[in-house]
Structure 1
Amino acid sequence: MSDPHPDLVCSDLTKDFDAFRAVNHVSFEVPQGSFFSILGPSGCGKTTLLRMIAGFQEPTSGDLRIKGKSMIGVPPNKRPVSMVFQHLALFPTMNIGDNVGFGLRQRGVGKSEIKTRVEQVLDRVGLPGVSERRIDQISGGQKQRVAIARCMVLEPDVLLLDEPLGALDLKLREHMKVELKSLQAAFNTTFVYITHDQSEALVMSDNIAVMNHGQFEQIGTPHEVYHAPSTAFVAGFVGDANRIDGKVAALNGTALTLTSDGGTEMKIDAQAKALSVGQRAQVYLRPEAIELVTSGDGVNVSGGVIDSVLFNGANSSVTVKDQSGSLLKVALPQTGAFATLRKGDKVFTRWDPRQARCYPVAGA
């Protein structure tokens, strides 16, 4: 019979440090066996939230339940959680087997059982037969797997990961995104992962909570957070986006006409927020939603001049200065009619009214 409780439930959780509120009435649930990421900029409160789940800090108010049991007042070593830190905190004077078995020894598990369980978990993370090797004899990616193994050998209900890929180089970090997701699926353990790196969250997560100033702005799947951001902050923080400031000129159901501050008229559909005529607004438009065309006909078509072309592997990042003087960033494939564009070339940009998101400007 399946467990009726989510593995982790945080209800109206708050943490104050004197007059500063680091976490502000946060509520969410994490289903069993899922990969849940908390994404946000430095200082948004995500590490404080993780430390409350781990038991290193007590909430000022609210409740925190794991497998249906409240963890308020329960010390870290009595909670069914393990934690992987950014710098891994492996013991350099211990071999791999002793590192992985450290927590079991602390719990008084017998030597023969420790040996068996360590070998089993090392095999599951793809490191069989390495127990006797020193930590300085393995690669950065292997160290990540040892850190995971050290946690998973304790069979936690929830594994907490505090930006564990932050110290890796770019290529290894890309590889470890796939590794971590595979390990999470293999163990079927609930992962709660905090990061400021949107690509990590988008690639690995079943659900993402975007955090800002101690609160969650949106919780959703990677697709929802990227393609249907619920706030201007989410639209600007998750992925690359062009921001265009303007004023609402007309409304017709979910469709609106907006005049940019540069004087360009824009047609936008599928609005996430209610707006009124004359209200100041911000439009967010992904670079990949803009295409270059040879004709000036159609809706949301504007003439412009190539301001810069930056090669970026599979794509080029092209900046177009439109007729109003505004700059639009466009993601351009390396093949096709516009693959050889140069600075100063004249082009037309076009985008679908359904591709943009528009939000009211607070206080305007």
Structure 2
Amino acid sequence: MTETTPDLAPSDLECRDLVKEFSEFRAVDGVSFDVPQGSFFSILGPSGCGKTTLLRMIAGFQSPTSGDLLIKGRSMIGVPPNKRPVSMVFQHLALFPTMNIGENVGFGLRQRGVARAEIKRRVGEVLERVGLPGVSERRVDQLSGGQKQRVAIARCMVLEPDVLLLDEPLGALDLKLREHMKVELKALQAAFNTTFVYITHDQSEALVMSDNIAVMNKGRFEQIGTPQEVYHAPRTAFVAGFVGDANRIPVQVVDATGGTLTLKTGGGAPLKLDAAAQGSADWRPGQRAEVFLRPEAVDLLPAGSEQAEAANMVPGVVDAVLFNGANSTVTVRASDGSLMTAALPQTGVLAALRKGDAVTTRWHPSQARCYPVAEG
């Protein structure tokens, strides 16, 4: 899929029909996108989808098979990594344990032949900006995991790159620190007003930090959009299933006229969706499809609330209640054996809900997305 990010700001990074082949395998398959200046752009996808290969091409560590890559309007094809206006933060940070913090941060400046006094001044300034004043003489092993992350970013930002590349930098941190660093990274990006290109397989990282997200699958971008667009209006079944949790309901098309897409489940339950929200698929009666529905869009009603032939209301029995703190996840089993998951706050119907209770699941026609199932 070829598209550009929906923003009118000038682009710091542009990729045009970028392809990378290894023998007969295409790791990156015709990717095109723009990253506006000063934005946080995430490339999200599963392991092996091509996102690291794409990042390495931007950095200059690998050359594209075809296509073009521009930074500030200048083509980077043939430009070596050390001549590109980019810096890169790796997952394992690659800090030098034999150097103190100031020496680590100033390493790139020394490589460029910057005067010692100027290095000291710039190192002090950038450490101040990342919230680590006065640590220049400390050793790397004297810092916490979050502080090491900020030193790695300071080492890049002291070089004043146009684009900062981040290769899953939170992957090695524990869960609590990872949650904290999501907020810190976004704040640092805004403070420096530098374009960040961030790759991850963790959809929560991308949703929290990004201005725009590109969802990558098998070497291609399936969708580029804001976190809200990618989450609430996924363009493909892959995006709907990969970004966030979703109930997946196999269905068959009954009718697609009058602005309503009418479906039925394997157990015969009628479902109705807003046809306009389902994209441009050419629906036909009898066609196989799959509905994706977020757990937070599902309501639970007391048993007997369903009406005869009522759409999107399916009776069932509580199969499990999983406590998650402020919310709980409730799994409901319908009479045909299918399962529906609802995410509910610890109030109302959930307060007294137990396994085995009879309930009815309900959801609004605008809340679900339906995608055709490929024949065969």
Which residue in 2 is equivalent to 1:283? 291
Is the Cα–Cα contact under 8 Å of residues 201 and 208 in structure 1 kept in the other structure? yes
Could you say if the C-alpha distance between residues 254 and 162 of structure 1 is closer, same or farther in structure 2, counting changes exceeding 3 Å?
Answer: farther
Counterpart CA distance in 2 for 1:205 and 1:253 is 37
1:299 deviates by 3.3
Is the Cα–Cα contact under 8 Å of residues 270 and 311 in structure 2 kept in the other structure? no
Is the Cα–Cα contact under 8 Å of residues 269 and 311 in structure 2 kept in the other structure? no
Counterpart CA distance in 1 for 2:54 and 2:22 is 13
Counterpart CA distance in 2 for 1:261 and 1:4 is 48
Is the Cα–Cα contact under 8 Å of residues 300 and 349 in structure 2 kept in the other structure? no
Letter in 1 for 2:338: S
Counterpart CA distance in 2 for 1:261 and 1:7 is 50
Q: Which SS does the other structure have where 1:93 is aligned?
A: coil
Which residue in 1 is equivalent to 2:278? 271
Q: Does residue 84 in structure 1 map to residue 94 in structure 2?
A: no
Structure 1 unaligned blocks of 5 or more: none
Q: Does residue 224 in structure 1 map to residue 232 in structure 2?
A: no
Which residue in 2 is equivalent to 1:312? 324
Is the Cα–Cα contact under 8 Å of residues 13 and 23 in structure 1 kept in the other structure? yes
Q: Does residue 171 in structure 1 map to residue 176 in structure 2?
A: yes
1:278 deviates by 1.3
Is the Cα–Cα contact under 8 Å of residues 14 and 70 in structure 2 kept in the other structure? yes
Is the Cα–Cα contact under 8 Å of residues 21 and 65 in structure 2 kept in the other structure? yes
Counterpart CA distance in 1 for 2:349 and 2:256 is 36
Counterpart CA distance in 2 for 1:172 and 1:237 is 24
1:263 deviates by 2.0
Is the Cα–Cα contact under 8 Å of residues 208 and 222 in structure 1 kept in the other structure? yes
Q: Could you tell me the TM-score, scaled by structure 1's length? A: 0.98
Q: Does residue 145 in structure 1 map to residue 153 in structure 2?
A: no
Report Cα offsets for 1:77-110 as digits up to 9, x if no partner.
0000000000000011111000000000000001
Q: Does residue 135 in structure 1 map to residue 145 in structure 2?
A: no
1:4 deviates by 7.8
Counterpart CA distance in 1 for 2:52 and 2:122 is 31
Counterpart CA distance in 2 for 1:306 and 1:16 is 50
Report Cα offsets for 1:36-70 as digits up to 9, x if no partner.
00000000000000000000000000000000000
Counterpart CA distance in 1 for 2:262 and 2:15 is 41
Counterpart CA distance in 2 for 1:51 and 1:38 is 13
1:363 deviates by 2.6
Counterpart CA distance in 1 for 2:78 and 2:259 is 49
Q: Does residue 198 in structure 1 map to residue 203 in structure 2?
A: yes
Counterpart CA distance in 1 for 2:41 and 2:186 is 11
Counterpart CA distance in 1 for 2:132 and 2:23 is 46
1:71 to 57, 65, 76: 76
Counterpart CA distance in 1 for 2:351 and 2:19 is 52
Counterpart CA distance in 2 for 1:265 and 1:209 is 34
Letter in 2 for 1:296: E
Is the Cα–Cα contact under 8 Å of residues 101 and 150 in structure 1 kept in the other structure? yes
Q: Which SS does the other structure have where 1:56 is aligned?
A: coil
Structure 2 unaligned blocks of 5 or more: 1-7
Which residue in 2 is equivalent to 1:54? 59
1:334 to 314, 337, 346: 346
Which residue in 2 is equivalent to 1:154? 159
Which residue in 2 is equivalent to 1:347? 359
Q: Which SS does the other structure have where 2:11 is aligned?
A: coil
Counterpart CA distance in 2 for 1:145 and 1:293 is 48
Q: Does residue 363 in structure 1 map to residue 375 in structure 2?
A: yes
CA RMSD in angstroms comes to 1.2
Letter in 2 for 1:352: H
Q: Which SS does the other structure have where 2:256 is aligned?
A: strand
Which residue in 1 is equivalent to 2:101? 96
1:5 deviates by 4.3
1:296 to 303, 306, 309: 306
Which residue in 1 is equivalent to 2:188? 183
How many percent identity over aligned positions?
77
Q: Could you tell me the TM-score, scaled by structure 2's length? A: 0.95
Which portions of structure 1, spanning 4 or more consecutive aligned residues, are displaced by more than 3 angstroms?
none
Letter in 2 for 1:52: M
Is the Cα–Cα contact under 8 Å of residues 130 and 150 in structure 2 kept in the other structure? yes
